[in-house]
Structures are given as structure tokens and as C-alpha cells.
């Protein structure tokens, strides 16, 4: 099957027992014919997808109930390594019982996670994550056929790291929001680049349109230019920029500085803390989403006195339209 060359040493320690079982005894491998679909009273969908990076390919069969759009039966054929067989087998299984639109929401991370023996240990070594990506892509191919839409229309974002399904927009936002400066930090926050590493810089096993090194450089340059512009604007108007006019990064830094100066130390003294998750404009309000940590999490005062104190300080120091919403 193309995976015999992996045997030797402790290579099998990198594969979960579930993966090894599915390699040798796949449950959903097979073929569905038009006759099978007619007997079941459903529509037959056959989709093919191949991975250019390794030459593997998978064919997915569905019988879909056209009244409910539910996938009643799924089978596959895999032309590739043992990991591709295991991933395809689990992928087919995950689609059964779901509507076609629900199946499209299954990601390669879902496939890989379902193959784990325990939640903390990856099911396959990083360089084999592309097999679960292929399984994810063939779902989209089948769904596009059934729904009568273009394959690309089911992916509304540019995916930079296919292993972890991390989009370009997410990476840029995380860099700005958390003031990230290294690739390692991007990986810690998003998991992009944690697996096959092809998306980090040119020279990996698969050529990419976007690389983390270039994205980081571009965003850091944008942030520097934005900082210069903000400083110039502040100097021009002879004062500080109003909170409502700040960029998201500036708002976050202002909120954090205000909390550090007026609130956070009191929470820490009581064994707790808090973190700011997001800041969004909502009509006339500026909503600040927070999460309580430590002793503050679940404390009765966290939704009453403590919350009112946090909101009152931020309203007084920054903007009257602020609302603080714990999650």
C-alpha cells in the first residue's frame, strides 16, 4: 500500500492504535453502485480527489436522501499509503447521518482527532497530516457535486496551513491582536506550521501561495506604518486619540493598561484574574468580551459586583459606551 517503507525502529509509535487498525481493517472501504442507490431510494454521489504533494488519491461514495439531504451510506476507495486509508475510512464514517451541508463543516482536524487513542496525543506524525486534508477535500468535492456549486465556493477563506485549516485572515488578526513577532508564537496561538511545516517558508514538501514568514513580515510592516500614522494623527490634533477612534490593537492595549492599573491586582490578590478575548463595535456600544480565570471563574461576584466594577472603571477611563460581557 505504499507504507511498508515506514516500518522500522519506533516509527509505529507515532501512529495511534486506531490508525493502525484502520490501515489493516478499514470499515467503510468499498464501492457503491447506481443499483445500490436505487434500492436505497437515494442519489449516488461519486467524488475523486488527489493530493499533488504525495500522489495519493481517494474516491468517496455517498447515498444521499434527496428529501432530507442526509448522507445515509458512505464508502471509499483509497489509492495511497496506509495513513490515507485510515483517514479516508474515518472521514467516510464521520459523514454518515449528517446532511451534506453539515458534512462540509467536517475538517481535517476532526478526522485526525477521531483517529486519536487519547485527546492529548496526535494520531499520526506531522508529515502525514496531509492525508487527513485530502479526506477533508474529497468531502467538499462530493458536496459541490450534490449541491451543484463550484468546489471553491465551499471554501470562503484563503487557507494558509492546510494541516490545521488556518486561514490567512485568522493569522493576520492573531498577529495584530497579540502583537506577535515570531513564527513560534504564531504556531502556539493558531497551530499553523505545527505539522508538516510546509507553510512556514519555501522549501517544504509542498509549494504554497502564502508562507508564515512573509505574512508575519507584511503584518509587522503594516503595524509599524499604522503606529507611525497614529502618532502623526495624535500630534496633529494636539491630544490623545479617542478610544472609539483607535484601531483594534490600540483599544486592546488601552483596555489592558487600564485593567492592570485599576483592577487586575485586586483580582490576583483574591486568587483570580481575567483576560480580554475580543472587542467589537455593536451599534452605539463598544462590547468588551472577557473571561474570568482562577478563583474569579464561577465566583458569584463575577456577574455582579466585580463585573460592575470592571465596567465602571473602563467607562470612566476610556469610553462611556463600553459594555463588559463575560463569556
CATH code, domain carrying 318: 3.30.300.130
My answer on whether 197 and 268 are in the same domain is no
Tell whether 302 is covered by a domain. Answer: yes
- d(C-alpha 174, C-alpha 65), whole Å: 41
- d(C-alpha 322, C-alpha 326), whole Å: 13
**Helix residue spans in 179-290 (DSSP H):** 183-190, 212-237, 248-262, 264-269
**pTM for the structure as a whole:** 0.54
Confidence of residue 8 (pLDDT cuts 50, 70, 90): very low
**298 phi/psi in degrees, rounded to 5:** 95, -5
My answer on whether 91 and 43 are in the same domain is yes
My answer on whether 187 and 203 are in the same domain is yes
Among the three residues 155, 175, 198, which one is the final residue of a domain in this structure? 155
Beta-strand (E) ranges in the chain?
Answer: 43-50, 57-65, 70-79, 159-161, 166-167, 272-282, 285-294, 322-326
My answer on whether 80 and 131 are in the same domain is yes
What the block records as the C-alpha cell of 39 is 434500492
In tens, the pLDDT along 92-104 reads 999 999 999 999 9
Instruction: Give the percent of the chain with pLDDT over 90.
Output: 45
Q: What per-residue confidence (pLDDT) applies to 249?
A: 85
My answer on whether 51 and 82 are in the same domain is yes
131 contacts 107 by C-beta, under 8 angstroms: no
- d(C-alpha 17, C-alpha 21), whole Å: 6
**99 phi/psi in degrees, rounded to 5:** -70, 165
CA angle, 114 then 119 then 123, to 5°:
55
Q: What per-residue confidence (pLDDT) applies to 156?
A: 61
Tell whether 236 is covered by a domain. Answer: no
- d(C-alpha 100, C-alpha 198), whole Å: 31
What the block records as the C-alpha cell of 102 is 453539515
My answer on whether 23 and 121 are in the same domain is yes
- d(C-alpha 205, C-alpha 190), whole Å: 21
Q: What per-residue confidence (pLDDT) applies to 4?
A: 39
Average pLDDT estimate for 216-235: 77
My answer on whether 192 and 63 are in the same domain is no
pLDDT: is 235 or 39 the higher one?
Answer: 39
- List the catalytic residues: 54, 131
Counted domains in the chain: 3
Pairing of β 285-294 and β 322-326:
parallel
pLDDT: is 137 or 255 the higher one?
Answer: 255
My answer on whether 171 and 281 are in the same domain is no
What CATH number has the domain bearing residue 91? Answer: 3.90.1010.10
Confidence of residue 224 (pLDDT cuts 50, 70, 90): confident
Quote the domain boundaries for residue 272: 243-326
Tell whether 321 is covered by a domain. Answer: yes
DSSP 291-312: EEEETTTT-GGGGTHHHHHHHH
DSSP 96-114: TTSBHHHHHT--HHHHHHH
Residue 111 pLDDT > 50, yes or no?
Answer: yes
- d(C-alpha 92, C-alpha 195), whole Å: 23
In tens, the pLDDT along 162-218 reads 887 788 888 888 888 778 899 999 988 778 898 889 999 999 878 899 999 999 999
My answer on whether 266 and 287 are in the same domain is yes
My answer on whether 307 and 217 are in the same domain is no
Amino acid at each position: 500500500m505504499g507504507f511498508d517503507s515506514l516500518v522500522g525502529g519506533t516509527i509505529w509509535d507515532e501512529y495511534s492504535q486506531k490508525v493502525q487498525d484502520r490501515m489493516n481493517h478499514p470499515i467503510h472501504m468499498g464501492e457503491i453502485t447506481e443499483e445500490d442507490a436505487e434500492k436505497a431510494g437515494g442519489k449516488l454521489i461519486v467524488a475523486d480527489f488527489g493530493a499533488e504533494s504525495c500522489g495519493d488519491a481517494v474516491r468517496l461514495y455517498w447515498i444521499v436522501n434527496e428529501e432530507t439531504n442526509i448522507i445515509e451510506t458512505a464508502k471509499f476507495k483509497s489509492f495511497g499509503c496506509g495513513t490515507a486509508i485510515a483517514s479516508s475510512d474515518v472521514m467516510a464514517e464521520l459523514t454518515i447521518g449528517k446532511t451534506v451541508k453539515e458534512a462540509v463543516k467536517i475538517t481535517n482536524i476532526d478526522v485526525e482527532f477521531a483517529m486519536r487513542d487519547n485527546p492529548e496525543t496526535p494520531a499520526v506524525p506531522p508529515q502525514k497530516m496531509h492525508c487527513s486534508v485530502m479526506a477533508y477535500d474529497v468531502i467538499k468535492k462530493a458536496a459541490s457535486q450534490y449541491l451543484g456549486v463550484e468546489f471553491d465556493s465551499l471554501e470562503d477563506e484563503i487557507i494558509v496551513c492546510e494541516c490545521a485549516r488556518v486561514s490567512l485572515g485568522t493569522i493576520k488578526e492573531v498577529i495584530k491582536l497579540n502583537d506577535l513577532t515570531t513564527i513560534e508564537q504564531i504556531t502556539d496561538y493558531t497551530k499553523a506550521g505545527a505539522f508538516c511545516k510546509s507553510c512556514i517558508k519555501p522549501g517544504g514538501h509542498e509549494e504554497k501561495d502564502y508562507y508564515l514568514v512573509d505574512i508575519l513580515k507584511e503584518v509587522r510592516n503594516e503595524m509599524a506604518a499604522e503606529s507611525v500614522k497614529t502618532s502623526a494623527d495624535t500630534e496633529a490634533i494636539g491630544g490623545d486619540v479617542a478610544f472609539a477612534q483607535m484601531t483594534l490593537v490600540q483599544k486592546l492595549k488601552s483596555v489592558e493598561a487600564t485593567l492592570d492599573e485599576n483592577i487586575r491586582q485586586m483580582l490576583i490578590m483574591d486568587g483570580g484574574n481575567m483576560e480580554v478575548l475580543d472587542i467589537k463595535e455593536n451599534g452605539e456600544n463598544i462590547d468588551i468580551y472577557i473571561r474570568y480565570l482562577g478563583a474569579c471563574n464561577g465566583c458569584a461576584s463575577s456577574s455582579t459586583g466585580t463585573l460592575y466594577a470592571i465596567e465602571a472603571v473602563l467607562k470612566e477611563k476610556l469610553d462611556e459606551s463600553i459594555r463588559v460581557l463575560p463569556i
